[in-house]
Structure 1
Amino acid sequence: MRGYFGIGVERLSKPMNLGNLMRSAHAFGASFFFTIDAAFTVRETRSDTSKSPEHLPNYAWDSVSQMALPRGCRLVGIELMDEAVALPSFRHPARAAYVLGPERGSLSPELVDRCDFVVQIPTSFCINVAMAGAIVMYDRVRSLGRYAPRPVKAGGPVEALPEHRHGGPRLRG
């Protein structure tokens, strides 16, 4: 897969969630991890059994204004809001930093203003921050990775149909 991505959280208050998200980021091949105004340090996490701080750069910013991403890196906010793009329709940038909000709140207006995109996972209500991050990373890997097309039905043959509006063949099994 070309490009890179990082993932982070604003105003996180539970070390267990950070550890789970960091472990998932490491497993999905993230290039870096970050926190903004977190209530604790990365070293306080106990649920990251992959020891991701030893393998991934970690940036801890005290405020949104301190956040400094690599040149060309697009900031993608993950937030359940009406004007957000639904994740299944979102085209992930090659160079991206995904940011999630705190456990009992939303991304700050200041952070939303800095985002190039705001994406929502199509759920009925908010889900755990670590789970949300894992879903977004899976979607990125699935959509940008070089995987064979899925058959329409399990075990069925894959045949190409005419091009569809998102570019690329439609498949029928």
Structure 2
Amino acid sequence: MRGYFGIGVEGISKPMNMGSLIRSGHAFGASFAFTVDANYKVREARSDTSKTPKNIPWYDWDNLEDMILPRHCQLVGVELVDEAIDLPSFTHPRCAAYVLGPERGTLSEAMLDKCDHIIRVPTHFCLNVQIAGAVVMYDRMQSFGKFEDRPVMPGGNPRRKRKAISPSE
């Protein structure tokens, strides 16, 4: 697959959430992880059992002005705002950095302004940051992956005919 993606958060405060998010990112093939204005020592996230910071580049930026993304990398904000594109309708950029907001908060206005795209997981209320990130990364993988089409019939395979069962059987 061509391209890459990074996963990160702005203003996160709970090590368990960050650890779970970056572990999921590592599992989905993230090329880098990052924080902007994190409110704790991110590398202490014990829930990251895959040791992500030892396996992919990790960036801790103190503020938005310090954030430097690779050339041609599009910043995609994940936030429940009216102007956001619902995830199933979004075409993922080939090179992207996905940024999520903090627990009990939202992405800052400055971060939203910096984003090339703003998407949302179409739910009735916000999800845990790790769950939202995993849904976005799964959608990216599904969009770019070389997977077979899903069956057209529930439980069925469109390529294989099934023998009809008569009522007497």
Residue type of the alignment partner of 1:37: D
Deviation at 1:158, TM superposition (A): 2.8
Deviation at 1:78, TM superposition (A): 0.1
Deviation at 1:155, TM superposition (A): 3.6
More strand by percentage: 1
The match for 2:92 is 92
Q: Is the 8 A contact 1:42 1:53 kept in 2?
A: no
Structure 1, unaligned stretches of length 5 or more?
Answer: 160-173
The match for 2:147 is 147
Residue type of the alignment partner of 1:60: D
The match for 1:63 is 63
Deviation at 1:156, TM superposition (A): 2.2
The match for 1:31 is 31
The match for 1:157 is 157
- In structure 1, the residue corresponding to 2:118 is in which secondary structure? strand
Deviation at 1:136, TM superposition (A): 0.3
Question: Runs of at least 4 residues of structure 1 off by over 2 A?
Answer: 152-159
CA distances 1:39-89 after superposition (whole Å, capped 9, x unpaired): 122321110011111101000001111100000000000000111000000
Deviation at 1:154, TM superposition (A): 3.5
Which has the greater radius of gyration? 2
The alignment covers a number of residue pairs equal to 159
Deviation at 1:2, TM superposition (A): 1.5
Which stretch shows the higher mean deviation, 126-135 or 34-43? Answer: 34-43
Residue type of the alignment partner of 1:81: V
Q: Are residue 53 (structure 1) and residue 22 (structure 2) matched?
A: no
The match for 1:113 is 113
Deviation at 1:8, TM superposition (A): 0.2
The match for 1:130 is 130
Percentage of identical aligned residues:
62
Question: TM-score scaled to structure 2, two decimals?
Answer: 0.91
Question: TM-score scaled to structure 1, two decimals?
Answer: 0.89
Deviation at 1:150, TM superposition (A): 0.9
Q: Is the 8 A contact 1:16 1:45 kept in 2?
A: yes
- What is the RMSD of the two structures over their aligned residues, measured on CA atoms? 1.0
